[in-house]
Structure 1
Amino acid sequence: MKINTENMVSITEANQNFSKVARLVDKNGVVVILKNNVPKYVITEFKEYKDEQTAKNEDIESIATRLISKHRRAFEELAK
């Protein structure tokens, strides 16, 4: 993940001026909040978060499909 330094905000600044953080998210899509000069939190639009969660679920579904296909005979035997 590349982090643009323009998208970085200290936790103190985020606490004091959250509307600035929200504007940065609207403009750039993501903001990294630093705690003790170390990236600690990521703020993104809810849609981006939701899309990421969907992608993770799709990965799980593809793994489940592969495992069921591979072990179908065992699952059928267990279902009896």
Structure 2
Amino acid sequence: MQININNLVSISEANQNFSKVARMVDENGATVILKNNVPRYVLIDYSKFQQDDVADSATVEDAASKILDKHLKAFEELAK
């Protein structure tokens, strides 16, 4: 995930003006909330979160399929 430096917000500012932070997410896709000047939280649009979750599941399935294909003979021997 690439973070735009203009999307950094202190936790105090996020607490005091959440609607501003929400607008930043709407405009830019994500906002990083800093705690003690260190990135601590990421606020993203929920639909983006759902897309990432689906992509992660597909990636895991693809990786598992490749491993099974690569080592099929070994798995067949173990199954005997």
Aligned residue number for residue 50 of structure 2 = 50
How far apart, CA to CA, are the structure 2 residues paired with 1:74 and 1:3? 44
Q: Deviations over 1:4-62 (max 9, x none)?
A: 22211100111111111111111111111011111111101011111111111111111
CA RMSD in angstroms, aligned pairs only? 1.6
Give the distance between the partners of 1:15 and 1:3, measured in 2 at CA. Answer: 20
Give 1:9's aligned amino acid: V
Q: How many residues in Structure 1 have an aligned counterpart in Structure 2? A: 80
**Structure-1 separation of matches of 2:25 and 2:60:** 29
TM-score, normalised relative to structure 2 = 0.84
C-alpha separation between the residues in 2 aligned to 1:7 and 1:43? Answer: 10
Percent identity between the aligned chains? 55
- The secondary structure found in structure 1 opposite 2:3 is coil
Q: Give unmatched runs, 5+ long, in structure 1.
A: none
Aligned-partner Cα distance in 2 for 1:48–1:74: 39
Unaligned runs of 5+ in 2: none
Partner residue in 2 for 1:70: 70
Taking the aligned partners of 2:58 and 2:26, their CA distance within structure 1 comes to 27
Residue 22 of structure 1 aligns with which residue? 22
